[in-house]
Amino acid sequence: MFNELKNTVRVSILPFVRWVPLTPNSLTIIGLLTSIWAAAVFATGDLSGAALLILLSGFFDMIDGAVARAKGRMTAFGAVLDSVCDRYADAIIFAGIIYGVIAGRILQTAVLSVPLWLWVVFAIIGSYLVSYVRSRAEAAGVESMNIGVAERPERMMILVAGSLSAYLGESIVIIVVLTHITIIQRLLYAKRSLE
Catalogue the active-site residues: 86
The angle subtended at Cα 67 by Cα 7 and Cα 23, nearest 5°, is 140
DSSP codes joined into one string, 121-158: HHHHHHHHHHHHHHHHHHHHT-S----SS--HHHHHHH
Burial class (CB in 10 A: 0-12, 13-18, 19+), 110: exposed
CA 81 from centroid of its chain's CA atoms:
14
**Residue 147 CA to chain centroid, in angstroms?**
15
Phi, psi of 24 (to 5 degrees): -55, -40
Pairing of strands 110-111, 114-115: antiparallel
Cβ atoms of 78 and 68 closer than 8 Å: yes
